[in-house]
Amino acid sequence: MNISLQQAEKAITAAKAKAAETGTLMNIAVVDAGANLVAFVRMDNAWLGSVEIAQIKARTARYFDMPTGEIGKLSQPGGPLYNIEHSNRGLITFPGGLPIKDSNGTIIGAIGVSGSTVENDHIVAQAGVDGVYADQ
């Protein structure tokens, strides 16, 4: 199964709403199960450097089927995955990327958010994940 554009747009709508609620300006990207881009938005005046980071976060979360921040715990100096970021034309391993699952728990894509603190990026990404199956 693969995320549809409609589902991706629901994720982005929910993420944008959470960004507005938290007073942040975000770049938001959604990839499908094959890690290919489905949808992207940059809120007005959001960081330009986050255009790519949001996309890489989404890709990284799908590449390893876990939140990006979990990888970052393992890629520190002395950690088991030190410098994994050098692979795959660049990975981002701090929070803000999350897998998206269907109702059976199968991963169908991922979301990546970048534009504020990593804590805020994560909160907005989670809102996007929750939005996929919410009534809107």
Contact positions toward a copy of itself, by CB under 8 A?
4-5, 8-9, 32-44, 47-53, 56, 60, 62-65, 72, 75-78, 80-88, 90-95, 117-118
- DSSP run (H or E) holding 63: helix 50-64
Cα dihedral 14, 42, 119, 8, rounded to 10, equals: 40
Nearer to a copy of itself, 63 or 100 (CB): 63
Residue 33: CB minimum distance to a copy of itself, A:
6
- Minimal distance, residue 67 CB to a copy of itself, in Å: 14
- Closer Cβ to a copy of itself, 38 or 98, answer by number: 38
Q: Which residues of 28-57 are buried (b: 16+ CB within 10 A; e: fewer)?
A: bbbbbbeeeebbbbbbeebbeebeebbbbb
Q: Which is nearer to a copy of itself, 72 or 128 (CB)?
A: 72
Reduced to 3 states (helix: H, G, I; strand: E, B; else coil), residue 113 is: strand
For the CB of residue 95, give the shortest distance to a copy of itself in the complex, in Å: 8
